[in-house]
């Protein structure tokens, strides 16, 4: 019995002291401070894009009085046509709940924008994301265009593919091929999904930088490592709205 107890004690001790698999990409620190970003996509009815954007611009102050708007864009390439994409920042889930309740009670917002414009929307989607710990939200130096690159990674989470993904992103940034705005990891939505928001001066400068990066062996090596964990990817070219904080 003593031998059995001793063996069991050693087994439990080794399990307790075993190093935990972790990654610099894990979202823990961002989850601890609570701040998250909601990605919202509105698919508008054909020919209604301009009308919707004009109506929102007139009433944007009513919405931003309740929570912070990070950016507001229309999809130019790579996604469904007549789509607007916007990012909202919240301190935590309780904050978002308070905001949604306040909006529901805000008669001015409801009557001047929401109710009249619901008929223009065909479909809505929402994702909750955290900024990864090694990235902070950056503001570009001037107006330009944005690229949202979405990567569906293999199951296993950042502990499996986070470091390789980080090296691939930094290879592009450190060599000056594009400017990073933020890297987001989905908490609610498709799991193991990562969104990378890039900024470029124009669609042409983005194309030139992309072609050069594909010929750079340092970028190719970093990307090749992360690709082994990749399931699929998609990118969209985004044009900022006139009222978007990120231009």
Integer Cα distance of 213 and 174 in angstroms = 11
Is residue 193 situated within a structural domain? yes
Please give the pLDDT value at position 55.
94
Between 19 and 117, name the one with better pLDDT: 117
Confidence of residue 26 (pLDDT cuts 50, 70, 90): low
Averaged pLDDT for residues 100-116: 93
Least Cα distance to 44 among 80, 71, 72 occurs for 80
Confidence of residue 221 (pLDDT cuts 50, 70, 90): confident
Please give the pLDDT value at position 21.
39
Phi-psi region of 159 (alpha: psi -120 to 50; beta: other; left: phi over 0): alpha
| pLDDT single digits (tens) 171-193 | 888 888 899 999 999 999 998 99
The answer, yes or no, to whether residue 9 has pLDDT greater than 80, is: no
Least Cα distance to 145 among 59, 238, 244, 48 occurs for 238
Please give the pLDDT value at position 204.
94
Please give the pLDDT value at position 31.
58
Averaged pLDDT for residues 91-119: 94
Between 230 and 245, name the one with better pLDDT: 245
Identify each DSSP E strand in 111-178 by its residue range.
121-131, 145-153
Whats the size of the chain, residue-wise? 247
Is residue 24 situated within a structural domain? no
Specify the pairing of strand 83-90 against strand 145-153. Answer: unpaired
Which token pair is 199?
């900024």
Q: Which helix (H) or strand (E) holds 167?
A: helix 158-174
Is residue 18 situated within a structural domain? no
Between 16 and 129, name the one with better pLDDT: 129
Is residue 30 situated within a structural domain? no
Which token pair is 181?
């705005």
Domains in the chain, number: 1
Please give the pLDDT value at position 6.
46
The answer, yes or no, to whether residue 167 has pLDDT greater than 60, is: yes
| Dihedral (Cα; 110, 111, 115, 120), 10-degree rounding | -110
Which token pair is 12?
């439990």
- Print the domain residue range for 127: 36-240
Is residue 21 situated within a structural domain? no
**Alpha carbon 188 to its chain's center:** 11
Q: Which residue has 């507001």 as its token pair? A: 72
Averaged pLDDT for residues 215-228: 86
Integer Cα distance of 222 and 242 in angstroms = 36
Is residue 2 situated within a structural domain? no
Is residue 89 situated within a structural domain? yes
Average pLDDT, the chain: 86
Is residue 75 situated within a structural domain? yes
Instruction: Lowest mean pLDDT of 1-15, 31-45, 205-219, name the range.
Output: 1-15
| Residue 90: CATH number of its domain | 3.30.70.100
């Amino acid at each position: 019995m003593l031998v059995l107890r001793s063996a069991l004690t050693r087994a439990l001790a080794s399990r307790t002291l075993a190093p935990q698999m972790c990654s610099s990409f894990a979202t823990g620190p961002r989850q601890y401070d609570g701040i998250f970003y909601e990605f919202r996509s509105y698919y508008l009815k054909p020919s209604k894009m301009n009308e919707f954007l004009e109506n929102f611009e007139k009433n944007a102050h009513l919405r931003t009085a309740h929570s912070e708007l990070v950016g507001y864009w229309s999809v130019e390439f790579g996604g469904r046509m007549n789509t607007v994409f916007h990012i909202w920042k919240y301190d935590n889930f309780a904050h978002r709940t308070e905001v949604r309740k306040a909006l529901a009670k805000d008669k001015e917002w409801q009557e001047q924008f929401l109710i009249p414009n619901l008929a223009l929307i065909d479909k809505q989607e929402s994702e909750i994301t955290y900024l990864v710990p090694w990235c902070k939200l950056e503001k570009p130096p001037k107006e330009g265009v944005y690229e949202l690159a979405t990567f569906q990674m293999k199951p296993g989470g950042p502990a499996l593919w986070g470091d390789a993904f980080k090296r691939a992103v930094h290879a592009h940034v450190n060599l000056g091929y594009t400017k990073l705005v933020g890297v987001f990891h989905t908490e609610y939505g498709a799991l193991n999904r990562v969104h990378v928001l890039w900024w470029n001066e124009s669609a042409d400068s983005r194309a030139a930088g992309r072609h050069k990066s594909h010929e750079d062996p340092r970028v190719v090596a970093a990307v090749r490592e992360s690709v082994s964990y990749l399931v699929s990817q998609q990118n969209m070219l985004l044009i900022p709205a006139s009222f978007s904080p990120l231009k």
